[in-house]
Structure 1
Amino acid sequence: MSSRPFHWLAVLALLALIFLSLAWELWLAPLRPGGSFLALKAALLLLPLMGILKERVYTYQWSSMFILAFFMEGVMRGWADRGLAQQLALAEVALTVLFFVGVVGYVREKRRELAAG
């Protein structure tokens, strides 16, 4: 299998996670009316974006660990929150899992491609 599908899975999941984080904390279900400083967590998701877009294997490797913080937040808020915030947290969990599958799959397939020559 080619690494391309995993690349696009990672890119789309990361972009969706950035937009979800912004929408969640600014409009949909912020902790405080009018928005929350938690929207700045979306800025953290910009850190791996360029490396993922440019298919830098090193970025794929470290971002597989980096994304676990967002996974944990989604799990905790999915357990603790109710209503729309809970649904958004579960969407965050799903997107982090998709991103993780994308980055791990990309690195695995890229290694196979390089080994095959």
Structure 2
Amino acid sequence: MSTLKFTEDHEWLRVDSDVATVGITDYAQSALGDIVFVQMPDVGASFAAGAEAVVIESVKAAGAVKMPVAGTIVEVNAALAETPAMANEDPLGAGWFIRIRLDDPSTLAGLLDQAAYDKLIA
């Protein structure tokens, strides 16, 4: 069973065992506007929690997907790199950015659940 978690920086994680799929929330994609460019990290790269892992450029601003927890990139969404607008069209589905193997699954406890995230953006 997967668990959905959120960060205060508007990333989401769908966790299955020790691997998490990471993307940006609908709130984030709406604030960014049309996403026109995505630069993915290399598979196998490791990042600390809070490090910028993915570069995003939109018509409004440049930004980054930060690592919600420490981990190693095990997959990138190549389709998103080719069609960045998928992050706007389906941010919680096909518009995911990276999959990471968690260094320490217990760090997920520090992230927000759906109710806490909804309160944050209200």
* Global fold match (TM > 0.5): no
Class of the TM-score when normalised by the shorter of the 2 chains: under 0.3
- Larger % of helix: which? 1
TM-score by length of 1: 0.26
Larger RCO (alpha carbons 8 Å, 6+ apart): 1
